[in-house]
Amino acid sequence: LQLQLQQPRGVRRRHVEAARRVRPQDPHGDRRPRPRAVIARSGREPVSYGSVARDQLPVLIEAFEALKAIKDPRIAAKLIGEHRLTHEMVPGELKQSPEVWAALVPHMPLTALVRSLGKLSQVGVIAPFSSATKHVLAQLGSIDKLRKARLHPLAMLTALRVYAQGHGERGKLSWVPVDKIVDALDQAFYACFENVEPTGKRTLLALDVSGSMGCGTIGGLPGVTPAVGSAAMAMVTLKAEAEVQTLAFSTTIREARISGKQRLDDVVKHLARIPMGGTDCAQPMLWALEKRVPIDVFQVYTDNETWYGQIHPHEALRRYREKLGIPAKLVVVGMTATKFSIADPDDAGMLDVVGFDSAAPAIMADFARG
C-alpha cells in the first residue's frame, strides 16, 4: 500500500473524483468491484480498504493524523513514544519541546540521531548525566550500530566538528557541547573507518599542502577545512586499501609519510610542516612516471587551486599510461571549488570532483572500480 501523505489535497481530490466518474466495466455492462488493499494488524483480522473509514486506518497512520492536531507537548510525547513516530512526522511547532525530543530519542536511527545532536543539546535533552545522553553514548560506542548505519568517517567528522563548535554554520542554532558526546563522536570517527569498502586498486594519494588549504571550510562538510578533509580522506584510504602511496605536493612533491593508524590532528600538523608553494596538479603523475611506480588510480586533493606548470595533468597522465602500459585513472578533487576543468572530456578515465561532501568518496570508489 502506497500512501501519498504529502500529495496536494486538490490533486488527490481530482484523482478521486476522476476515479468515481470512470469506473471500469465488464463486457456485460456490470461494474467491476473496486480493488481493495489489505493490511493485517497484529492480533486482528485484515482490514480492507476501499473508501477508508477513520476507525479502519492503520494504527501508525491514525497516530500520525492525531499528532498533527495535538498542541500539548506532553500528549504528543506520549503518542510518539507509544507508536514510535519519527521526527519527520512531528509538526514544526512541537519541535521546540524538550518532552517531544526526549520521546523521539530512544527509537531514532543513528544517522538521524547524529544529525540532531545540536538541537537535542539546545533544548536540554542532551545534558550531563541525562538519560538521553546515556543513550547517545551507548549508540555511538556500539561498533555494531555504527556498522549497520554505514556512516562514512567524513559524516562523523562533520558531526564532531559542528557539535564541538557549539553552533551551526548559519548561526541560527547554538548549544553548549557535552564533553562526553564530543569524545564519543571522536572515537566513532575512527571506528567508522571499518565501514569503508576497499576498491582493491593501487592508489596514489596526492595532498595539496599549499597555504590556502587551511583557509575556509568545505561547503558539503561544515566545520572542516580542506587541510583536515584531505588528511581525513588520506587516513581512510590508507586504512581501507592494501596498496597506497601518499605524497604531499605544491610546486614540488615529496612522500608524506603518514599512516591510517595516526590521529587526525597529528596528520594535519605533520602535513602543515611540509614546505609549501604553488599547486601543480601534474606533479603526482610525473613523480610516478619518474619512479616507475605502478598505479591504478591517482587521487589529487586540493582546495580550489588547480593550477599546473608546463605540463597539463591530463598530458602527464597520458605519458604515464604510455610509458608504463597501465590504464591509470585520475581523480582531481577541488574541495572548495565552484568550477574548474582538469579532466579531458574525451577521456573516460579522468574525473573532476567540484566541491566535496560525505557522498563523494563512494562515487570516487565506484569510478576507481571501473
> Which secondary structure element, helix H or strand E, spans residue 361, and what is its range?
helix 360-369
**pTM value?**
0.80
Contact residues for 80 (Cβ-Cβ < 8 A; gap 6+): 67, 90, 100, 103, 104
Domain boundaries, the chain: 37-91, 108-194, 198-369
pLDDT in the model for residue 4: 28
- Tens-digit pLDDT string for the chain (370 aa): 222 223 333 433 333 333 333 334 444 444 444 333 333 343 444 443 345 566 656 888 889 989 999 999 999 999 999 999 999 999 999 999 999 999 999 999 999 999 999 999 999 999 999 999 999 999 999 999 999 999 999 999 999 999 999 998 777 899 999 999 999 999 999 999 999 999 999 999 999 998 889 888 898 899 999 999 999 999 999 999 999 999 999 878 999 999 999 999 999 999 999 887 777 889 999 999 999 999 999 999 999 877 667 889 999 999 999 999 999 999 999 999 877 788 888 999 999 999 999 999 999 999 999 8
Contact residues for 248 (Cβ-Cβ < 8 A; gap 6+): 206, 207, 209, 254, 255, 256, 271, 274
pLDDT in the model for residue 314: 92
pLDDT in the model for residue 62: 87
pLDDT in the model for residue 250: 82
Instruction: Report the chain's C-alpha Rg in angstroms.
Output: 27
Q: Decide: helix, strand or coil at residue 351.
A: strand
Q: Are 159 and 126 in contact (CB under 8 A)?
A: no
| One-letter identity of residue 273 | R
> Which secondary structure element, helix H or strand E, spans residue 246, and what is its range?
strand 244-249
pLDDT in the model for residue 168: 87
pLDDT in the model for residue 43: 41
Q: Are 153 and 193 in contact (CB under 8 A)?
A: yes
Strand 253-255 versus strand 244-249 pairing type: antiparallel
Strand 47-49 versus strand 203-208 pairing type: unpaired
**Separation of alpha carbons 136 and 326, rounded Å:** 48
Report the top-level CATH class of 198-369: alpha beta
pLDDT in the model for residue 7: 34
